[in-house]
A and B are shown apart, each in its own frame.
Chain A
Amino acid sequence: MARPVRPLPVFLNLLRIRFPVGAIASIAHRVAGVLLFLALPPLALGLDASLRSEAGFEAMRDLLSSPWRALVGLILVWAAAHHLLAGIRHLLMDVGIGGGLAQARASARAVLVVAVLLALVFAAGWLT
Chain B
Amino acid sequence: MKLSIYRFNPETGEPPRMQDYDVAPAAGDKKLLDLLMRLRTADDSLSFRRSCREGICGSDAMNINGRNGLACLTALEGLKEPVVLRPLPGFPVIRDLIVDMTQFFAHYHSIKPWLIAEEPPPERERVQTPDERERLNGLYECILCACCSAFCPSYWWNPDKFIGPAGLLQAYRFIADSRDVATAERLDFLDDVYRLYRCRTIMNCTEVCPKGLSPSHAIERIRIALLKRSS
Contact = CB atoms under 8 A, between A and B. Distances in A.
A30 to B, nearest CB: 9
A7 B16 CA distance: 13
B130 interface: no
Contact of B89 (A8, A11, A93): A11
Contacts, number: 79
A18 B67 contact: yes
A101 B16 contact: no
Contacts of A20: 203-204, 207
A9 B216 contact: no
Interface string B64-87: 011100000000000000001011
A13 to B, nearest CB: 8
Size class of the A contact interface (CB-based, 8 Å): 20 to 34
A44 interface: no
Main secondary structure of the interface of A (DSSP, over half): loop
B8 A9 contact: yes
B15 A11 contact: no
B126 interface: no
Given A10-B90, A11-B16, A96-B224, A22 B203 contact: yes
B89 A101 contact: no
A17 interface: yes
Interface string B213-231: 0101100100110000000
Interface of B: 6, 8, 10, 13, 15-16, 63, 65-67, 84, 86-94, 100, 151, 153, 156, 200-204, 206-207, 214, 216-217, 220, 223-224
Interface of A: 4, 6-12, 16-20, 22-23, 26-27, 90, 93-94, 96, 99-101, 104
